[in-house]
Amino acid sequence: MDFSIDSATQERIEKLSELGREHVRPLGIEADQLGRPTPPDHPYFEKLVGMGYGRTRYKGRKGPADSAKKSSDRSKTKRMGRSRASLLLSEQMSYWDRGVAVSAPGPGLGEGAILSMGTEDQKERYLSPFIKLDKPRWGAFAMTEPAAGSDVAGIQTRAIKDGDNWVLIGNKSFSGNSSRSDFILVWATVDPSLGRGGHRAFLVERGMPGLQDFHIEKKMGLKAYESTSFRLEECRVPGENLLGGEAYYESRAGFKGAMATFNATRPLIAAMAVGIGRSALDESLAFARDNQMLDDPRIRDRLERVTRKLRAARLLCLKAAWLADHQLANIVEASMSKAVAPTAAFEATSLGMELLGMVGGRGDHLIEKLFRDVKAMDIVEGTGQIQRVVMARQLVGLPHG
């Protein structure tokens, strides 16, 4: 396995470091103090668009000549795989502030599902505006519900066929950036008795009647991006907005499509946790050095252990991403990275709080903020407990639905 970083990716990481110092961390601290997400009209988002961020992987409709040219270009230059490059960039952004990182414009978590499951018309309609951004734009993904979190098979939002249209009825929660998004990829069930087999996804556009009651949740950490709840009150969606069209409706591929999305993104979430942990470790080292704590062998031992665990977690993330880049099954590695990285990062922030002592109780030190931020990383996109269930079922050969 090759985890070396090509020059182009290294250059992007260095640019992110500059952006992080000048903009990302100050914005994260500001949002935390104000207790609200960074507004969508903030100049920072315009700056990101100007720097080329927020683009989609979709390149538009292409003919055979374009595909041949792409293959030829790829053979000329050895570049890091997309999954590994995205993972390293996500880790670096989260080092500076994970909340600000998630608030960035872009097609969002739904992009992968649209690329893998969507029709050509759906890709063109919903992703082409993100090819060359004219302004900050967002897309969103809505799976979680008040009574269905890690157990996504238990979603209750109904999708009822009505002629050529679909009617969506239900509630969604903790959907990142959805109130500011052009579209939300909403997961629903056509029949709860079918369990996972009833899952379908729908592209719901901003302003559609019945898409309502947006509420930005107040969180203990990661306040720079919005975690939104909303309601679908007989929201009428055209038939062409069923992700994948009637072919996916008949094949019952919805749940597998959702899980494929998570297998691709869980290593990214894990890498974000590593980024938070690295930040806490650096701040802890600086505090310990400034306060003459490093002569204590117990503190040195704790710092070494945290460093070791974060490096091991990072390697797990890279392995899962390497497998994804080579189109190999990574379900165990994706879940393993997601189970291990947040725990290592939480240990890093906990150690930092112990070193701070009473200073941590003032609420004005970066480590205290990181301590609150990191807690969510064990929850989002499947809790650590669920990841262990996934790994155990795979290891003993049980089906995943």
Distance CA 99, CA 112 (A): 21
CB atoms within 10 A of CB 162: 11
Alpha helices in 202-253 (DSSP H): 246-251
Distance CA 47, CA 188 (A): 36
Closest of 122, 136, 147, 160 to residue 53, by C-alpha: 136
Nearest 5°: the CA angle 93, 97, 102 is: 70
**The pLDDT value given to residue 135:** 95
The DSSP code for 213 is E
Distance CA 366, CA 135 (A): 32
Those residues of the chain that have pLDDT short of 70 are: 63-79, 248-262, 399-401
Helix or strand or coil: residue 61? Answer: coil
This prediction has a pTM of 0.90
Strand pairing report for 183-189 and 139-142: parallel
Distance CA 266, CA 209 (A): 33
**Residues noted as catalytic:** 381
pLDDT in tens, 39-81: 999 999 999 999 999 999 999 877 555 544 544 444 444 567 8
Q: Which domains does the chain have, with CATH numbers?
A: 1-81+104-252 (2.40.110.10), 256-395 (1.20.140.10)
Distance CA 51, CA 67 (A): 27
Output the CA torsion 130→82→370→178 (10° steps).
Answer: 30
Residue with tokens 């590593």: 274
Handedness of CA 345, 89, 286, 360 (dihedral sign): negative
Written as one string, the DSSP assignment of 117-135 is: HS-HHHHHHHHGGGTS-SS
